[in-house]
Each structure stands twice: as C-alpha cells, then as structure tokens.
Amino acid sequence: MTKVVTFPSPGGPVPSKARAPALATFKQVDKVFANEVTALTGLDLEIRTGEFLALLGPSGCGKSTVLRLLTGLAEPTRGEIVWGCERPQFGFVFQEPTLTPWSDVFTNVWLPLRLAGVSKHEARTRIEEALAQVGLSGFAKAYPRQLSGGMKMRVSIARALVTRPSVLLMDEPFAALDEITRLKLNDDLADLQASLSATVVFVTHSVFESVYLADRIVVMAARPGRAFAEINVEAPPIRREGFRLTATYADTCRRTSNALHEAMGEAAPSELME
C-alpha cells in the first residue's frame, strides 16, 4: 500500500472544500491493460464534491487512466471505486480541441446533445448559454479554421458544458497553448468553476498551473502509477492574477515542486540549493 504524504496549507484554517462529502473514492485500485502494462497500483484517492482537484505527475503515472475509470470507459483490474451518490453527469475536455473542421462553432458544441437525440432547435438555448459561459457568444457561425488555439479550446470547453455536467474532467487542456493564452484560460477556468459550483478533476504537468487553479493537488508517481503526496492549497475562493505574486503561492509551488521531484525519485530543488 502506497503511503500518501499530506502537506497541509501553511497557516490559516483548513479549506472548507476539504470537509466536503466524497463524490468518489478509489480504494486500492489497480489497472493493468491487456498489453500487461500496469497503469495504476494501490491507488487510494478521494474526490470531493465541488472541489477543484489537480492530478499532477510525469507522463505514464496514470493521470488520464484515473479519468477513464471515473467515466466508466475503463474498469479497475483490482480494487473498487465507491460513489457517494449516483454516478454523476460528466463533461470531458481533451488535450486537443478535436473539433470537426467542416462544422461551425454552434454545430460543434451541439455534438454531445445531438448524440443524445436532442434536436438543434431544442438545443439552441443550451448551446448559446455554453458559448456565453466561455466568452464566445459572437462566434457561433465561425469555423475552426477562423479561430485561434485558445478560442478552439474554449469551444471544446463549451461542448463539455452544454450537457450541464456536475463533474468536469479535463485532460491537460492547455498544454499545447502559448503561455499568455494559457494564463488567460487559467483565469477564465477559475471564474467558470466558481460560477458553476461543479467538481473539476484537472490533469496537468505544470506545478504553477496546479497551484493556481486547484483546491487540492494529488502528486502521482509513475511506473506504476500511484498517489505520492497530497497538498491543500490555501487561496481566495476566486483566483486572480495577484495570487501568483503572493508568498503563499510561491511557498505552495515550492512544496509542490519538491513533492513532484521526490515522486520521480529525484532530489528536491530546494535541497540542491543548500
């Protein structure tokens, strides 16, 4: 059984979301694929209702596999996932926008509702609402070739939101974007999650992104994938650019970076400087 090291927030009360009821709990979950690759071993992980949970770790540590297990696209080889309620409605945002180039923005966002048998006319209000949530109200008739990378990702997020999910799963959605666009979308996602009160499980390789967005970070170790450390982030309920300039942000980034290096079997950067 992997021991999870917990790093509490420095000073101040425990964040209220840390006391929220469990949405789903992984209990000693293993996942071995047909090619005998072990993606996860002994994973103990609790996902709490309404929180923003970041899964941080190197490639091959099973972060994306956790998302697939949550949605039911994959099943545990051993162990179990216990739900605190009925399995919720999921929205999924992938690393690439995966938009159909021959369809306009409106039609791309309609896709999951169309697959569910909802007509374009019936879906109109929900599509317009989703586009407004991501700041694309004026782009319904635009085609993907006319959009920037950041705008394409907004369309992908709108497509996930149009089903009105209670849980939003995001698999490195901003990894391919330039830094300026990525920071802007970080701000927009933080605002969106606060307004929706949805649970977000966010996969990332970025220490800085995880600390800026998350209420809680689970650092994962690879080969085989497992939870290594858990870090609570003490921050304002709605993040703003100024949070990145605070001592709390810097300290949490340091602790998270140290935990990530330790999870990969490397010396922590702070130790190398001593």
Coil, strand or helix at 266: coil
Structure tokens at 153: 């990702």
- Least confident range from 53-57, 119-123, 186-190, 249-253: namely 186-190
Give 273's pLDDT tier (boundaries 50, 70, 90): very low
Contact in structure between 250 and 196 (CB atoms under 8 Å): no
Mean pLDDT throughout 93-103?
Answer: 92
- So where are the chain's domains? 5-88+167-272, 99-165
Give 107's pLDDT tier (boundaries 50, 70, 90): very high
Average pLDDT, the chain: 88
Beta-carbon contacts of residue 253 (< 8 Å; ≥ 6 apart): 207, 208, 211
Residue 266 has pLDDT above 90, yes or no: no
Coil, strand or helix at 48: strand
Q: How do strand 22-32 and strand 167-171 relate by DSSP bridges? A: unpaired
Q: How far apart are CA 182 and CA 149, in angstroms?
A: 10
Mean pLDDT throughout 24-34?
Answer: 93
pLDDT at 7: 57
Fold of domain 5-88+167-272: Rossmann fold (3.40.50)
> Exposed/middle/buried for 258, CB within 10 Å: 0-12, 13-18, 19+?
buried
> Exposed/middle/buried for 253, CB within 10 Å: 0-12, 13-18, 19+?
middle
Share of the chain above pLDDT 70, in %: 90
How do residues 130-154 score in pLDDT, each as one tens digit? 999 999 999 999 999 999 999 999 9
